[in-house]
Chain A
Amino acid sequence: MRHLIDPLDFTLEESLRLLDLADRIHDDPTAYRDVATRKRLATLFYEPSTRTRLSFEAAMLNLGGQVLGFPDAGVSSATKGETVADTIRIISCYADIAAMRHPKEGAPLRAARYSRIPVINAGDGGHSHPTQTLLDMMTIRRRKGRLDGLTIGFCGDLKFGRTVHSLIKSLARCKNMQFVLISPEELRVPDYIISEVLDPNQIPFVETRSLEEALPNLDILYMTRVQQERFFNEEDYVRLKNSYVLTRDKLALAPADMAVLHPLPRVNEITLDVDDDPRAAYFEQAQNGVYMRMALIMTLLGLKDPKTGEVAFQC
């Protein structure tokens, strides 16, 4: 039995096999509608996240499975002081697989250590969000046709942005990647991403404050929101929240085949007039997320792809 807690829990080869399966589902979703009949997914959401929870639930329902769970900590036994370890022991009796979102970093890992069913990290505080990473990779590959030799710009909150950290770690395993890190000084990518991920893998990167200067050279622009919930200090949030706004005018500086990604929800960092531009890929991401999560659930449950008769890889 395996879990998905960290974006690097799967090797690059395993991740690519998962992407292949997600692509097959994307192309013919009805072929997968009975794959997980009589299987149950528990969605354990200790903080509200309608988007991710519904994506997981849609994925399981699309596979013919069932879902149960709670949408925020207020309706769980956490309010009575139950530990994560105890909760997952109980949920293991009710479901075949669990997706957990928790405001505390490392909570899904804690759950996995006590679980009898596969645990998927659906986001733990500002730490990690591996299914977002997989759907980001899927979207990049579908847009560009490859996952190597790309220049990827990350823009906005690179300090607390867990999707950024996870994606950088994962893409660092691909060949000939370059990163452009665009952020205000206060929201620079943490030093450890440079010293433990980029430098050891000899990945070229530049740090810049200017989105406009970076845009002409990018294959992918990954925008992020400055998240209020990650700040202890309201003043810092207010000062930094409008650091970067991608408008249609700025997008004119970018290559015609660049793709704009965003983990969503956005607030005002991408203006509405960008939505109709063919480079806007962020709603595709949400759609790809369902297919990716279908592929992940199938693989962690050891369910065979009806198209190939095989599981993506053994868990």
Chain B
Amino acid sequence: MLKVDEIMNGVVIDHITAGTGLGLYHLMELEKLGDASVALLQNVRSQKTGKKDIIKIEGDVSKLNFDVLGYVDPQISITYIVNGHVDRKVRPEQPKRLVNVIKCTNPRCITAIEEGCDHIFALTPSGRYRCIYCEQEFKVRP
């Protein structure tokens, strides 16, 4: 099995649905992290789900937007590592609103033609995100 070193300071984003890690990488804009080291592991063996993706980030993560993880997959876990030890493990909360994080893809939506129109998604009671303008559900396929 592929071995990636444990990290000393940073985060481990675990239990990512297999096949969606790369999309998540771009969604979180990890390519813009600067000096931090980032490892993306795909199709790692998982007892719970068979396989999963994992992202490990070594370095300063203070500017990262973890909110996006909440809508991608609430099952994802985020483990903060400090000096080689687990500092805390959290599950991302689902933000009530997402502004310009994801785009509405409905060609009939006003966001498709209106210049300067923010793409705003609201969390529904059923845990889904809908565009506030056209109410189309956003299906995550990162």
Chain A interface residues toward B at CB < 8 A = 81, 83-85, 102-107, 109-110, 124-127, 192, 195-196, 200
A109 to B111, CA, bound (A): 11
Chain B interface residues toward A at CB < 8 A = 106, 108-117, 124-126, 128, 131-135, 137
10 cross-chain CB contacts under 8 A: A81-B115, A83-B114, A84-B110, A84-B114, A85-B117, A104-B113, A106-B109, A106-B133, A110-B110, A196-B124
For A127, what are the chain B residues with a Cβ–Cβ distance below 8 Å?
Answer: 108, 134-135
For A126, what are the chain B residues with a Cβ–Cβ distance below 8 Å?
Answer: 108
Tell me if A104 and B126 are in contact (CB < 8 A).
no
Task: Say how far B67's CB is from chain A's closest CB, in angstroms.
Answer: 22
Tell me if B132 and A83 are in contact (CB < 8 A).
no
B interface secondary structure, majority: loop
For A84, what are the chain B residues with a Cβ–Cβ distance below 8 Å?
Answer: 110, 114
A143 to B137, CA, bound (A): 36
Given A85-B116, A127-B134, A127-B135, check contact A106 B126 (CB 8 Å): no
A interface secondary structure, majority: mixed
Determine which of A102, A109, A125, A192 lies in contact with B137 in the assembled complex, contact meaning CB atoms within 8 Å.
A192
For A81, what are the chain B residues with a Cβ–Cβ distance below 8 Å?
Answer: 115
Nearest to A196 among chain B residues (CB) is B126
Given A106-B132, A200-B125, check contact A125 B115 (CB 8 Å): no
Given A107-B110, A125-B108, check contact A83 B115 (CB 8 Å): yes
Task: Say how far A226's CB is from chain B's closest CB, in angstroms.
Answer: 17
For A85, what are the chain B residues with a Cβ–Cβ distance below 8 Å?
Answer: 114, 116-117
Task: Say how far A284's CB is from chain B's closest CB, in angstroms.
Answer: 30
Determine which of A104, A192, A195, A196 lies in contact with B110 in the assembled complex, contact meaning CB atoms within 8 Å.
A104
Knowing that A107-B133, A125-B134 touch, tell me 5 more A-B residue pairs with CB under 8 angstroms.
Answer: A83-B115, A104-B109, A104-B112, A104-B113, A104-B114
A172 to B4, CA, bound (A): 54
A163 to B106, CA, bound (A): 19
For B115, what are the chain A residues with a Cβ–Cβ distance below 8 Å?
Answer: 81, 83
Determine which of B117, B126, B128 lies in contact with A110 in the assembled complex, contact meaning CB atoms within 8 Å.
B117
For B117, what are the chain A residues with a Cβ–Cβ distance below 8 Å?
Answer: 83, 85, 110
Tell me if B126 and A195 are in contact (CB < 8 A).
yes
For B106, what are the chain A residues with a Cβ–Cβ distance below 8 Å?
Answer: 105
For A110, what are the chain B residues with a Cβ–Cβ distance below 8 Å?
Answer: 110, 114, 117, 133
Determine which of B112, B124, B128, B132 lies in contact with A109 in the assembled complex, contact meaning CB atoms within 8 Å.
B132
Task: Say how far B94's CB is from chain A's closest CB, in angstroms.
Answer: 16
For B128, what are the chain A residues with a Cβ–Cβ distance below 8 Å?
Answer: 192, 196
Which 3 A-B residue pairs are closest in the complex by CB-CB distance? A106-B133, A105-B134, A104-B110
A295 to B44, CA, bound (A): 62
A238 to B126, CA, bound (A): 36
Task: Say how far B107's CB is from chain A's closest CB, in angstroms.
Answer: 9
Task: Say how far B57's CB is from chain A's closest CB, in angstroms.
Answer: 36
Determine which of A105, A195, A196 lies in contact with B133 in the assembled complex, contact meaning CB atoms within 8 Å.
A105
Task: Say how far A270's CB is from chain B's closest CB, in angstroms.
Answer: 27
For A192, what are the chain B residues with a Cβ–Cβ distance below 8 Å?
Answer: 128, 137
Task: Say how far A162's CB is from chain B's closest CB, in angstroms.
Answer: 11
For B112, what are the chain A residues with a Cβ–Cβ distance below 8 Å?
Answer: 104
For B135, what are the chain A residues with a Cβ–Cβ distance below 8 Å?
Answer: 105, 127
Most chain-A Cβ atoms within 10 A of its Cβ — which of B108, B110, B114, B117? B110
Tell me if A105 and B125 are in contact (CB < 8 A).
no
Task: Say how far A110's CB is from chain B's closest CB, in angstroms.
Answer: 5
